[in-house]
Amino acid sequence: MAWRLLDLGYVDPYRAQCFYEATALAVSKGIAPPTVIFCLPASPYVCIGVHQILENVVDVDYCKTQGYPTIRRSLGGGAVFLNSHQLFFQIIGPKDHPQVPPRVDDLFRYFLTAIVAAYRRLGIPAEYRPVNDIVVRGRKISGTGAGIWEDAVIVVGNFIMDFNFDEAARVLRVPDEKFRDKLVSSMREWITSIRRELGTIPPLEEIKQAAIEGFKTIGIELKPGEVTPEEKRFFAEEVLPRHKSHEWLHAITSDHPTLFHRVKVAHDVTVVEVRYKARKLIRVIAQLDGYQIRDIAIAGDFFAIPYTVVKRIESALTGKSLDDENAVRTAIQQAIQQSDATLVGATPEDIFNAVLQLRTAVS
């Protein structure tokens, strides 16, 4: 079955990171066909996940001195350093398309099979590892994510041609340099690249052609196409202004302006932060009156699809007492069910356990 291929080439960081949202809007409205985008950032930048707190994960001052833009994406995951040594693939299809699986795990398995085939065509023995990893002898060689944009489904990822381990660690906020050194060491142990595997980087067109052939293995024929006027308009009028806004970049902070100090405010009112390690990290920050939740923010590098379910969980928990475990668990479960949401890297029970740690912290 034919899908449109948009090869944008080298583009500015915002277009590389966000243009697919304009395509998703067009696909969702039925005015653009199912599409795969290839692009590369023309200059370096830092990208954080939709559920992360900027100041907690990125060394903002360092990034400013280096001229790195910081962009909050609309998908989950962690903070990453991105540059022109990564070829992005962005897959956008209608929810009801016969080649778009309805379940998130099947969605990853289906589309990442094409990327695995591409790597193998290049001579790299890549393997798919559920839920959303592509690995070579246990080392990660692609960062991937997924989301829903109105009636469109998105799967994104990258071909890591080369990787700057030192800079990838330098842009992150860490407790001290000893921790940063350990981070670099761990990255070198668990992340690989095309250059590392082959000793060289093949020509870019060869990598793109391998990807095109990889999609053929799952029944998708990529046909070169053009960006539509509607996509250009969506990007210029909706997508780009949102991603460049202070409100979006600092979304969690601006929604919860009082939550970022661990202090006793007055009487029984306390601000508490806890961290819970599921498959991914969950951070919960709450203002409590005794055990009653007055305000709460849930962050981390997990994926929530759609991402808006996190706001629904926060709203459902506001006013609940941590002493009433059944009410807390039910609020979380109902919010997820009502959003028809899927979590990757965390489960509803993980969210519950993270929230319950607030009670331990204040007592």
- Two tokens, residue 201: 């980087």
Q: Are residues 352 and 282 in the same domain?
A: yes
- Two tokens, residue 36: 């795969």
Number of domains observed in the structure of the chain: 2
Q: Of 190, 219, 249, which residue sits at a domain end?
A: 249
Q: Are residues 164 and 58 in the same domain?
A: yes
Class of residue 246 by CB neighbours under 10 A (exposed 0-12, middle 13-18, buried 19+): exposed
Cis peptide preceding 306, ω within 30 of 0: yes
* pLDDT value of residue 180: 87
> Which residue range(s) make up the domain with 282?
256-362
Pair 341, 306: CB distance under 8 Å: yes
- Two tokens, residue 357: 């740690």
Q: Are residues 81 and 165 in the same domain?
A: yes
* pLDDT value of residue 264: 54
Q: Of 249, 267, 302, which residue sits at a domain end?
A: 249
* pLDDT value of residue 70: 98
Q: Are residues 244 and 272 in the same domain?
A: no
State the CATH number of the domain containing residue 144.
3.30.930.10
Q: Are residues 269 and 340 in the same domain?
A: yes
Pair 88, 158: CB distance under 8 Å: yes
Q: Are residues 13 and 135 in the same domain?
A: yes
Q: Of 194, 214, 249, which residue sits at a domain end?
A: 249
What value does the CA radius of gyration of the chain take, rounded to a whole number of Å? 21
Q: Are residues 57 and 199 in the same domain?
A: yes
Q: Are residues 265 and 172 in the same domain?
A: no
Cβ atoms < 10 Å from Cβ of 160: 21
State the CATH number of the domain containing residue 322.
3.30.390.50
Q: Where are the beta strands (DSSP E) in 254-311?
A: 264-266, 269-277, 281-289, 292-300, 303-305
The Cα 16–Cα 90 span in angstroms is 10
Cβ atoms < 10 Å from Cβ of 19: 25
* pLDDT value of residue 253: 57
SS3 160: strand
Class of residue 355 by CB neighbours under 10 A (exposed 0-12, middle 13-18, buried 19+): buried
The Cα 97–Cα 34 span in angstroms is 8
Q: Are residues 262 and 223 in the same domain?
A: no
Q: For 195, list phi and psi in degrees, rounded to 5.
A: -60, -40
Class of residue 360 by CB neighbours under 10 A (exposed 0-12, middle 13-18, buried 19+): exposed
* pLDDT value of residue 266: 53
Per-residue pLDDT of the chain (363 residues), as tens digits, is 999 999 999 999 999 999 999 999 999 999 999 999 999 999 999 999 999 889 988 999 999 999 999 999 999 988 999 999 999 999 999 999 999 999 999 999 999 999 999 999 999 999 999 999 999 998 999 999 999 999 999 999 999 999 999 999 999 988 778 778 888 888 998 999 999 999 999 999 999 999 999 999 999 999 999 999 999 999 999 999 999 999 999 987 534 443 333 345 455 777 788 889 999 999 888 888 889 999 898 999 999 999 999 999 999 999 999 999 999 999 999 999 999 999 999 999 999 999 999 988 887
Q: Are residues 128 and 197 in the same domain?
A: yes
* pLDDT value of residue 360: 84
Q: Are residues 221 and 288 in the same domain?
A: no
Q: Indicate the pTM of the whole model.
A: 0.86
Q: Are residues 89 and 222 in the same domain?
A: yes
Cis peptide preceding 100, ω within 30 of 0: no
